[in-house]
Amino acid sequence: MNALDRVIVALLPAVPKPVVRKIADRYIAGETIDDAVAEVRGLNGEGCEATVDVLGEFVTAFEEAEATAREYRELLERIRSEGLRSNVSIKLTALGLKVDAERCYGLVRDLVARARELSNFVRIDMEDSSVTTATLDLYRRLRAERFDNTGVVIQAYLRRSAADVASLLPLRPSIRLCKGIYVEPPEIAFRARDDVRTSYRALLRQMFDGGCAKVGIATHDPSLVEDARAVIAERSLAKERYEFQMLLGVAAGLRRKLVADGHGLRVYVPYGRAWYGYSVRRIKENPSIAGYVVKGMLGLG
């Protein structure tokens, strides 16, 4: 990150929302279900699957959680009625985990049950370390109730992840493996880029060799993509055992190459009124686009 990028990232809270929104359009489908449906339809036409997320997290009133659950139910119905190749991704804090954990489980269980009726799948996303254990426990509880149409996420930068994977493997889980984006203390998470990459490579092998039902290889890092391709080839893995996953608006060229080479690829499609926080996080992760922020503020974009 160069000096200008660092300055722009530091000043992001002062950047006018219309400027952030203009840049954010590459990362989010829009604010409505119709926007998400249109985005997914386009991705399906390019040979990609999708997973749709209703933006929002850390609700403080359970009424907000119930509203989010209703949005997801409508989304699942639209995916079915529109014939889209897409599943959904949920954040437990958006469904009230920190307000009332038991009621949150009820909302999630109902969503997973409806998804099963619609022959669909629910990915339980991973958030910061304050909810890692609660998230994995909720996933195990669903699996104990024989809900097989759900999966979880493991973050490679967390030091605990190898132990978490080992504990999940008897379930033959569906796991999405990502690097991790939340700022965590060094005693909890690897901070150096090479250490995170080393962890990612080791976890990927642990998942394949331990018998995961399916692994979502979620990364835009070319070195990790090439490593994953080598692992897939070495083990002659069937396409049902894995898919690559990427964020909307990121690494489109690499995405097209993977699809052209015959690999399954799923694009994460976020939408909703809570677009601002998500968009700022994406910009902070990719500070090389700081120049677009400057252009937007100057009316040059």
**Can you tell me the mean pLDDT for 118-131?**
97
Q: What is the mean pLDDT of the chain?
A: 91
Q: Where are the domains of the chain?
A: 29-271
Structure token digits, residue 198:
């080393």
Q: H-type helices in 25-100, by residue range?
A: 33-45, 62-82
Task: Work out the pLDDT band at 14, boundaries 50, 70, 90.
Answer: low
Q: How far apart are the first and last CA of the chain?
A: 21
Going by C-alpha positions, the residue among 200, 197, 196, 286 that lies closest to residue 250 is: 286
Point out which residues pair with 217 in neighbouring strands. 177, 244
Strand spans (E) along the chain: 49-54, 86-90, 122-124, 150-155, 174-178, 214-218, 242-247, 265-271
In angstroms, the CA 282 to CA 280 distance is 5
- Helix (H) / strand (E) element for 20: namely helix 17-24
In angstroms, the CA 199 to CA 237 distance is 21
User: So what CATH class is 29-271?
Assistant: alpha beta
In angstroms, the CA 70 to CA 124 distance is 17
Going by C-alpha positions, the residue among 24, 7, 55, 53 that lies closest to residue 283 is: 24
pTM of the model: 0.89
- Helix (H) / strand (E) element for 201: namely helix 193-210
Active-site positions read 125, 176
Condensed to tens digits (0 to 9), the pLDDT of residues 59-111 reads 999 999 999 999 999 999 999 999 999 999 999 999 999 999 999 999 999 99
Condensed to tens digits (0 to 9), the pLDDT of residues 222-258 reads 999 999 999 999 999 999 999 999 999 889 999 999 9
Condensed to tens digits (0 to 9), the pLDDT of residues 125-142 reads 999 999 999 999 999 999
Backbone angles phi, psi at 242, to 5 degrees: -160, 165
DSSP codes of every residue in 214-240: EEEEE---HHHHHHHHHHHHHTT--GG
Provide the CB-side half-sphere exposure for 296 (13 A, CA): 18
